[in-house]
């Protein structure tokens, strides 16, 4: 009897427990996902009608299916592409090729409130000024994602400005520019930004040689006074900033250094730069001299620069440098004496030097030579040990070409830049042929290097970017051809055309162009493609009242109820909050001649609840993301009645989110 009672009770208990568990689970149950429609390999009914109506080929259908990313799903990769002379950095999703963000870097940008009054961004931009001249343009070229052990770690991205020789740091927690540094000794750069395998240094190479510090010197003194330079910007990952105190430069001959790449694994400790004016031509077409384009292309060979940065770091730390305009510089002579700098001949005027994923080989794309030339780090180190060299006019050891060359492979006309996949293949852009060449790396067997296929691209392809294609572990899958010209690819939009970024599927035996993306906001020079899930971006700032520059709580953070206007003589300080749908205070009364400092804290913590702020008539534009505290200042030079308002359509009462600034005469 008692036994059966026990069972009843046990059953009841179980029922109760099951009920609670069911209730607990029920809370988190997601709505059912929609059924997948494609079954048995057949397209849904009507798909072929659509294809026929739109004139799509089977390849087109494949391309569409490979690139379409349904609403709410995320792209697998993010591509960081330079914006060229719009001075910005673009974030593009792959395979959809949608632009996700346009990060303001060297140029003011009103949507992000970058360079329109905001104290934080003005300070960043001002750090890039040149000798008191306000620089608000930029020519961003080569993004470099931070690396750990030679692989992208998704924490930071760097980019250079070619025209004024500057480097910027972007924090990938909030995708905002945090720092611009100006090299005090060069006025243009190109071989940047390339990071060492653990982002110890962000490397920047000069382009057009000038006297160091770009001081005046007549072109007749080119050989004696003009110089190239490589700067190793020390990166403080903890602070998220380039540490200018621990950075240094290496003086180079005035050979117009081009692209660079840092060694990794087998070649860790080295970096490599191409050059294209070992002729030291100085132009002057107007005086009957050969123009630069001919003058710098006379010799058959230019010099691959081979630089031992670990040795250079030792030399710098030993204090064996000369301070030039505040920057410690390893002089050319010291670099030669200490074994920091070597050259190897390379077919003339090449563009990219790209280290293979294993770090063993350097691939130089010939540009004016139809071949890629492959060098081996083992051979280079052997030639250095054997002192198998001659000296150039400056005394720099030039290693014997045949001693360091591993192989040469003819690919087509105008090879520019090389990327890698996971299966031992390399991809090189062919500018003149408007094509991409896929070829096999042959290791230490010169005969094993082999051209596999080429695919036409439209048109004039510059750089390539493959998925993690310049790291120690490339992913393959996708390659993007950054084409300079679009010509007839898109509907006409006037004489200034977008560029054409073409996505190429490299996962199969045959390369297939699967998407043409019109890049109508800049000219990407280089891009890097990182797995999306490596980036740990914030949805909103960690705390309300956040200073995005310090990445810490702001001293100007204002809480709800603590909004105020403080006056001290003619110094006025406004502490404002923004939340849907009001700015507090809504009346700001000041006097003509006041100097106004104005802080706004977005006290929202909801995902996407950004408020903008514009003050008409005073050129003020801010973007205040959830949790952010932003500040601006201005002199109230004009009296009058002004309206300020939230520029983001933040809510149904967005239009009502405004206030008046009254400036009494």
Partner 1 sequence: MSNNMEQIVGPRVSGEEFQRNRTRYLLPTILFALAGLLLIISIFLPYWQLTLHAPQYPQGLTVQAYLNRVDGDVGEIDGLNHYIGMRPLDEAAPFERSISIIGVISLSLLILASIFIHSKWVTLLTLPALLFPVIFLVDLQWWLANFGQNLDPAAPLSSSVDPFVPPVLFEGKIAQFRTVAMPSIGLWLAIAASLLILVGLYFHRRAYKPLHDAAEAKA
- Taking the CA atoms of residue 372, residue 373, residue 377 and residue 381 in that order, the dihedral angle to the nearest 10 degrees is -160
* Pairing status of strand 425-430 against strand 582-584: unpaired
Options 95-103, 155-163, 297-305, 599-607: segment touching partner 1 (CB under 8 A):
599-607
Distance from chain centroid for Cα 315: 30
State which H helix or E strand residue 566 sits in.
strand 564-568
Q: Does 660 bind partner 1 (CB under 8 A)?
A: no
In the bound state with partner 1, the residue whose beta carbon lies nearer, of 14 and 137, is 14
Q: Does 34 bind partner 1 (CB under 8 A)?
A: no
Report which of 84, 198, 96 is spatially closest to residue 143, judged by C-alpha positions: 84
The only residue of 7, 14, 17, 660 in contact with partner 1, by rule CB under 8 A: 17
Q: Does 5 bind partner 1 (CB under 8 A)?
A: yes
CB of 6 to partner 1, least distance (A): 7
CB of 319 to partner 1, least distance (A): 55
CB of 174 to partner 1, least distance (A): 20
Q: Does 16 bind partner 1 (CB under 8 A)?
A: yes
Encoded tokens for 310: 């670990």
Cα 435 from Cα 453, distance rounded (Å): 10
* Pairing status of strand 587-591 against strand 658-664: parallel
The only residue of 653, 655, 660, 662 in contact with partner 1, by rule CB under 8 A: 653
Options 168-176, 201-209, 320-328, 598-606: segment touching partner 1 (CB under 8 A):
598-606
In the bound state with partner 1, the residue whose beta carbon lies nearer, of 440 and 654, is 654
CB 532 within 8 A of CB 477: no
In the bound state with partner 1, the residue whose beta carbon lies nearer, of 72 and 319, is 72
Q: Does 217 bind partner 1 (CB under 8 A)?
A: no
CB 157 within 8 A of CB 80: yes
Cα 510 from Cα 475, distance rounded (Å): 17
Options 1-9, 205-213, 415-423, 636-644: segment touching partner 1 (CB under 8 A):
1-9
CB of 16 to partner 1, least distance (A): 4
The only residue of 251, 604, 628, 648 in contact with partner 1, by rule CB under 8 A: 604
Size of the site for partner 1 (CB under 8 A): 23
Q: Going residue by residue from 616 to 635, which x/- string records binding to partner 1, judged by CB under 8 A? A: --------------------
For tokens 């994602």, name the residue: 145
Options 23-31, 244-252, 397-405, 565-573: segment touching partner 1 (CB under 8 A):
23-31
Q: Is the N-terminal amide bond of 572 cis, ω within 30° of 0?
A: no
Cα 548 from Cα 522, distance rounded (Å): 26
Encoded tokens for 92: 């593009």
CB of 586 to partner 1, least distance (A): 14
In the bound state with partner 1, the residue whose beta carbon lies nearer, of 27 and 587, is 27
Q: Where are the beta strands (DSSP E) in 172-254?
A: 176-182, 189-195, 201-206, 210-211, 226-236, 241-252
Footprint of partner 1 on 549-588 (CB under 8 A)? 579-581
Options 17-25, 326-334, 410-418, 477-485: segment touching partner 1 (CB under 8 A):
17-25
In the bound state with partner 1, the residue whose beta carbon lies nearer, of 11 and 219, is 11
Q: Does 27 bind partner 1 (CB under 8 A)?
A: yes
Tell me how far CA of residue 100 lies from CA of 80, 93, 96, 175, in angstroms: 10, 7, 10, 11
Distance from chain centroid for Cα 40: 43
Tell me how far CA of residue 277 lies from CA of 189, 208, 255, in angstroms: 15, 9, 5
Cα 528 from Cα 530, distance rounded (Å): 7
Cα 547 from Cα 564, distance rounded (Å): 19
Q: Does 605 bind partner 1 (CB under 8 A)?
A: yes
Q: Does 657 bind partner 1 (CB under 8 A)?
A: no
Q: Does 20 bind partner 1 (CB under 8 A)?
A: yes
Binding site for partner 1 (CB under 8 A): 2, 5-6, 9, 12-13, 16-17, 19-20, 23-24, 26-27, 72, 579-581, 604-606, 653, 656
């Amino acid at each position: 009897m008692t036994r059966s009672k026990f069972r009843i009770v046990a059953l009841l208990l179980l029922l109760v427990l099951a009920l609670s568990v069911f209730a607990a689970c029920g809370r988190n149950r997601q709505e059912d996902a929609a059924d997948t429609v494609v079954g048995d390999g057949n397209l849904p009914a009507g798909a072929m009608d659509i294809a026929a109506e739109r004139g799509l080929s089977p390849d087109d259908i494949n391309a569409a299916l490979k690139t379409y990313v349904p609403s709410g799903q995320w792209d697998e990769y993010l591509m960081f592409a330079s914006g060229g002379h719009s001075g910005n950095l673009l974030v593009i999703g792959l395979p959809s090729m949608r632009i996700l963000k346009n990060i303001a870097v060297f140029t003011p940008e009103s949507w992000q409130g970058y360079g329109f009054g905001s104290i934080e961004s003005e300070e960043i931009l001002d750090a890039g000024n040149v000798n008191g001249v306000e620089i608000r343009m930029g020519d961003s070229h080569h993004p470099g994602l931070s690396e750990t052990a030679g692989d992208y770690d998704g924490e930071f991205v760097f980019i250079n400005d070619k025209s004024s020789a500057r480097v910027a740091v972007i924090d990938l927690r909030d995708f905002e520019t945090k720092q611009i540094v100006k090299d005090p000794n060069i006025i243009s750069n190109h071989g940047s930004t390339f990071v060492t395998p653990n982002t110890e240094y962000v490397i920047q190479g000069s382009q057009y040689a000038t006297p160091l510090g770009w001081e005046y010197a007549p072109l007749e003194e080119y050989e004696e006074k003009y110089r190239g330079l490589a700067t190793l910007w020390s990166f403080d990952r903890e602070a998220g900033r380039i540490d200018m105190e621990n950075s240094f430069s290496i003086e180079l001959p005035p050979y117009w250094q081009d692209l660079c790449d840092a060694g990794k694994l087998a070649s860790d400790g080295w970096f490599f730069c191409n050059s294209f004016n070992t002729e030291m031509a100085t132009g002057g077409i107007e005086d009957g001299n050969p123009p630069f384009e001919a003058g710098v292309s006379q010799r058959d060979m230019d010099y691959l620069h081979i630089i031992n940065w670990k040795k250079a770091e030792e030399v710098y730390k030993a204090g064996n440098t000369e301070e030039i305009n505040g920057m410690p510089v390893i002089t050319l002579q010291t670099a030669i004496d200490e074994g920091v700098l070597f050259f190897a001949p390379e077919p003339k005027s090449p563009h990219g030097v790209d280290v293979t994923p294993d770090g063993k080989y350097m691939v130089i794309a010939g540009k004016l030579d139809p071949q890629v030339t492959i060098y081996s780090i083992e051979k280079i180190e052997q030639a250095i040990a054997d002192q198998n060299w001659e000296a150039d006019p400056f005394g720099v050891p030039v290693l014997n070409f045949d001693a360091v060359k591993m192989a040469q492979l003819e690919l087509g006309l105008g090879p520019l830049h090389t990327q890698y996949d996971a299966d031992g293949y390399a991809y090189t852009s062919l500018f003149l042929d408007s094509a991409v060449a896929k070829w096999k790396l042959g290791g230490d067997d010169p005969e094993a290097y082999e051209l596999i296929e080429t695919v036409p691209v439209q048109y004039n392809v510059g750089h390539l970017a493959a998925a993690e294609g310049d790291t120690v572990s490339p992913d393959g899958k996708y390659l993007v051809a950054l084409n300079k010209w679009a010509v007839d690819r898109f509907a006409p939009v006037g004489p200034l055309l977008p560029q054409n970024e073409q996505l190429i599927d490299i996962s199969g035996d045959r390369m297939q162009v699967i998407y043409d993306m019109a890049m109508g906001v800049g000219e990407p020079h280089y891009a890097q493609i990182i797995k999306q899930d490596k980036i740990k971006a914030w949805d909103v700032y960690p705390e309300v009242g956040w200073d995005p520059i310090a990445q810490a709580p702001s001293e100007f953070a204002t809480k709800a109820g603590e909004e105020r206007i403080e006056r001290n003589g003619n110094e006025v300080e406004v502490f404002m909050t923004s939340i849907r749908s009001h700015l507090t205070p809504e009346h700001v009364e000041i006097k003509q001649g006041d100097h106004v400092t104005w802080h706004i804290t977005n006290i929202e913590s909801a995902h996407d609840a950004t408020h903008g702020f514009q003050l008409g008539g005073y050129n003020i534009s801010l973007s205040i993301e959830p949790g952010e505290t932003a500040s601006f200042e201005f002199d109230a030079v004009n009296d009058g009645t002004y309206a300020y308002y939230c520029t983001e359509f933040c809510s149904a009462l967005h239009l009502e989110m405004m206030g008046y600034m009254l400036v009494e005469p």
